Amino acid sequence: MLKLYKDKNVSLKYLKGKTISILGYGSQGRAQALNLRESGLGVIIGLPSKSKDRKIAVKDGFKVFSPEDAVKKGEIISVLAPDHKHKELYEQSIHKNLSPGKTLVFAHAYSIYFKLIKPPENIDVILVAPHGPGELVRKLFLEGKGVTSFIAVEKDYSGKALDKALAYAKGIGSTKAGAILTTFKDEAIGDLFGEQAVLCGGLAELLRSGFETLVESGFPPENAYLECVHQLDLIVELIKKYGIAGMFQKISQTAEYGSYVSGKKVVNKNQMKNVLSEIKNGNFARKWMKEYEKGMKNYKRMKRYWESHLLQKTWERLTKLLS
């Protein structure tokens, strides 16, 4: 059964008086650091001396240290650097500065589950994974709301690891919406699959393919964009509010019937299963780390492709016209 924790079930006392060291100050790092501080907890930031984010963190009123010193000073170490940099960060800055009883916090189970890093047995290792980007985590916190999070415990040296995970989730605002208990395995695999096959990779390819199909058949790019992309937020809002069946009830019957007879034709579930297998057996993690270690040439090439695609250029033109 789903185990859901809300504000009333959780106490911040397990983190009160402790120093939380945030390693990384990107979208998620900044949002969590600000939320934790405004929840009354002690936060410092750990960043390399050449990081451009140092100025932002200082401007936000935080004390900024090297990653090594932040690990030494902190009792709770929140690793919010990009996933593919965790191994390097751990080996260079974290491992040698960990002492018994400290706690490592991750926002994604990736580097622990796929064994990019192997923490010692004498610390706690926990997961607090918000279901949204840093901007949303911060925005909803300021509105008195929150983004749901998955929480999990990988190592419980202190016997209080779950309490710390819940307190951290409360500190960033998640228990206002709900903190959901899971495992490192389920979060690591599920998160990668959801991103790749559905929410980001699958969705982007679906939008691109629909756009290109119309353009290649003679439609103006602007028409293709408005028909295949522009209304997406309206459909997502209907699904979130009413569920998929409820969304079908809210659209026209022509659109509803067409969805029933055509939707399955453009989705290949067997390929989705292949994606899941690649994630489960570790092939994706190995490929991604190899890509990073070799300079990310393929990654940069694919990034340039999307940035220069007619779909992106059409979005730029229409955004100016419609704003």
Please list the active-site residues: 108
Name the residue with tokens 């016209």: 321
Q: In what order do the strands lie in the sheet with 19-23?
A: 4-5, 179-181, 149-155, 124-130, 103-106, 76-79, 19-23, 42-46, 64-65
Structure tokens given for 251: 């659209």
Distances (CA, A) of 323 to 53, 274, 314, 315, 319: 31, 41, 14, 12, 6
Burial of 36 (0-12, 13-18, 19+ CB in 10 A): buried
Our CA angle for 314, 320, 322, nearest 5°, is 95
Contacts of 154 (CB under 8 A, 6+ apart): 109, 112, 125, 126, 127, 184
Our CA angle for 281, 285, 288, nearest 5°, is 145
